Structure 1
Amino acid sequence: MLGSGILTLPRTLAEIMKTPDGWIAIILGGLMVMLAGICIVKLCHQFPGETIYQFAGKIVGNWIGKCLGILMILYFICISAFEIRVMAEVTMLYLLEGTPLWAIIMFFMWIGLYLTSGGINPIARLFEIILPITIVVFLFSMTLSYKIFDINNIRPVLGDGILPVIKGLKSTILVFAGYEIMFIVTAVMQHPKKGVKAMIIGTSIPLFLYLVTLIMVIGAMSVDGVVRSTWPTLDLMRSFEITGLLFERFEFFLLVIWIMQIFSTFSICHYAASLGLSQIFNIKIKPLMYFLLSIIFLIAMLPKNINEVFDFGELIGNISIYLFGIVPLLLLLITKVFKKGAVK
């Protein structure tokens, strides 16, 4: 869930809501995503050891199940392309100025291929390494910005009523995209019955980090200041320096850990798309990984500028609400009503 959204969420909410109440929308959006994720896990429990690509046909019929699986594969391909394009844009702007986009994208894609070709286990091990590093560095960086934090920038609470919060709900739900990977992960969990607990914890961590991000960024830069920034979270890190320490600027630490997070999102989505094609069409997975790499690259290079990249991301997010919010609920209802699945 911790992908490119952390870099843009404060600006997105500030533009839509025009109030500092985005933290309320984040809490509500996180709870809604948590419920959708639990619904996905409960559905997977009905078909132990199978992914959505394998059991969808058992619920709604073979052809509809395959069409549904292909839609999810297309979604994972697009989210992979979007994440790696955002990563390349940020890297080019702050770290590798003048480097062609295609060079940055290809470099990270080949590293991602090396990881995903090993299967789900090395991916999971990498995630276990990245997460604690991310949390420690992120909270440390955010804590240092307290000197320019002004609590008056996040007041008043609900000054314009509840309507702006409702407007901001969709954008907050979009940044939690990633919970849908439980359609794949539940099948290979050692203790799948703990899937609900994993879903709750796995959603709570990004919820907390997004909350901290929004409060610190809005508190330091104000709503008007955030609206004028493309990458407000990084601009917050650049707006102060701590003299006397070994390092005086901290945006590079945040950049490094978020490049790792975006890389991890790309990797697992690339794997999920490859696995889907493999299971639906009974083809070996490794050739498909190479094939999809070229497709992802082409899609990542399609947007002509950063505004088109953001529009592309919003489109993907809107699709995810229906594909992984409404569809799983309908499938779960069908399994319960018609008594389908191994678990009655």
Structure 2
Amino acid sequence: MSAQTLPDKMLTKNHMGINIAAVTIGVGILTFPRGLAKATSGFDGWISVVISGLIAFLIGWLLAKLAARFPRQTFFEYTSMIASKPVGYVLTLLVCLYTMLFVSFEIRAIGNIAKQYLFYNTPVEMITLSFLLIVQYAVAGSRISMLRLNLLFLPVVLVVMFFVLLFTSQLIEVENVRPFFSSDWRSLLDGSQAVGLSYSGFEIILFYTMLMKRPKDGTKAMALGLFIPVALYLTIYIFVIGVFSAEVAKNLTYPTIDLAKEVEIPGGFFERVESIFFAIWIMTIFDTCMIWLDITILNLASMFRNVKKMVWILLLSPIIYFVAMLPQNLVDFFTFADYVTYFGMIIVYLCPILLLLLAIIRGVRGHE
């Protein structure tokens, strides 16, 4: 029998912050410099990164306040308390739909990128299926153990990113970042929207606050969880523009991976750094997938308590895989990603904020 007490099995604010950061740093960080360079006049995109980061923190703070108001209740339970049980069922099912679509997007992204950079002759269907099976295995285990896995993975990813930036710093050309402050406010706002779509992930605070030792620390966890990706996005964008220029970055499908391709380690010890970089980055996308699938099952289990976890995993996985295979090309894939993100903004950003306002007006609170 485990010697851990219940508090020992719960998350601290630092653990939650690391989980928020790990989920936020996903596929979007590989592609966002392209959209940001298109929306702004080159180097000024860093302003859009800061603006979108501040907006994300404001939304995340509101979501953390809502979850902390109902510290030991699931999303379905406190939605039902605030707005009635029928509304709770509808909104929770929509959240499950969103999280399933997000998993489909992530596993298809793994298939596309792995085929392009690692497994040239392997069908994307087999790469995607293999990755989904690994995610299934992770989700089938302990939820707390799964969340604490990010304590191991995230530092490794950040260290690898640090070395990529270190070895590409000598390639930065000052002419690539000029002129400064040449974008108008409309372009900067468009850029904020472009990079803001890559911040999806911090909304996990809505579902995992109940696992925290001190749910009231959710806002502090949110600050830590968003500071890491915002700082990383800002640094990566500056390096991508400094190395490639804005005009080149606009035409790169995965600018961050292409940045890793420019690394030349003295002595020729590693010749294909981008493959190593992507292999490490798979860990981050794996974190994102397993957490979103777990959130899907957590929400379904809160509504249908008699269905076991493994049953949900086996039922949902074929649907997730089928949806992941629907896009026929990269244009369809990125269009699918945009639709999923906009749908999520309504379901997990706008609706919870409205629930918070309604809870304050009605004076509804949960219990420890």
Q: Give the TM interval when normalised to the shorter protein.
A: over 0.9
- Please list every run of at least 4 consecutive aligned residues from structure 1 whose deviation after the TM superposition is greater than 3 angstroms: none
SS in 1 for 2:270: coil
- Gaps (5+ residues) in structure 2? 1-23
Corresponding residue number in structure 2 for 1:65: 88
| Structure 2 counterpart of 1:304, one-letter code | Q
Match of 2:130 among 97, 104, 107: 107
- Please tell me whether residue 299 in structure 1 is matched to residue 327 in structure 2: no
- Please tell me whether residue 332 in structure 1 is matched to residue 329 in structure 2: no
Q: Which moved more, 1:174-183 or 1:142-151?
A: 142-151
Match of 2:184 among 128, 139, 161: 161
Corresponding residue number in structure 2 for 1:3: 26
Shift of residue 167 of structure 1?
1.0
State the alpha-carbon separation in 2 of the partners of residues 315 and 17 from structure 1: 22
Percent of aligned positions that are identical: 33
State the alpha-carbon separation in 2 of the partners of residues 181 and 4 from structure 1: 17
CA RMSD after TM alignment? 1.5
Corresponding residue number in structure 1 for 2:6: none
Corresponding residue number in structure 2 for 1:52: 75
Match of 1:315 among 333, 339, 350: 339
Corresponding residue number in structure 2 for 1:127: 150
TM-score (norm 2): 0.90
TM-score (norm 1): 0.96
State the alpha-carbon separation in 1 of the partners of residues 256 and 76 from structure 2: 37
- Please tell me whether residue 220 in structure 1 is matched to residue 248 in structure 2: no
Match of 1:36 among 59, 78, 87: 59
State the alpha-carbon separation in 1 of the partners of residues 321 and 142 from structure 2: 21
Corresponding residue number in structure 2 for 1:147: 170
| Structure 1 counterpart of 2:30, one-letter code | L
SS in 1 for 2:141: coil
For the Cα contact (< 8 Å) 2:107–2:324, is it kept in 1?
Answer: yes
State the alpha-carbon separation in 2 of the partners of residues 254 and 212 from structure 1: 17
Shift of residue 221 of structure 1?
0.4
Shift of residue 156 of structure 1?
2.4
Q: Which moved more, 1:272-281 or 1:80-89?
A: 272-281
SS in 1 for 2:298: helix
Corresponding residue number in structure 1 for 2:40: 17
Shift of residue 194 of structure 1?
1.6
State the alpha-carbon separation in 2 of the partners of residues 323 and 170 from structure 1: 17
For the Cα contact (< 8 Å) 1:3–1:261, is it kept in 2?
Answer: yes
Shift of residue 199 of structure 1?
0.6
- How many aligned residue pairs are there? 344
- Please tell me whether residue 249 in structure 1 is matched to residue 282 in structure 2: no
For the Cα contact (< 8 Å) 2:44–2:183, is it kept in 1?
Answer: no
For the Cα contact (< 8 Å) 2:104–2:323, is it kept in 1?
Answer: yes
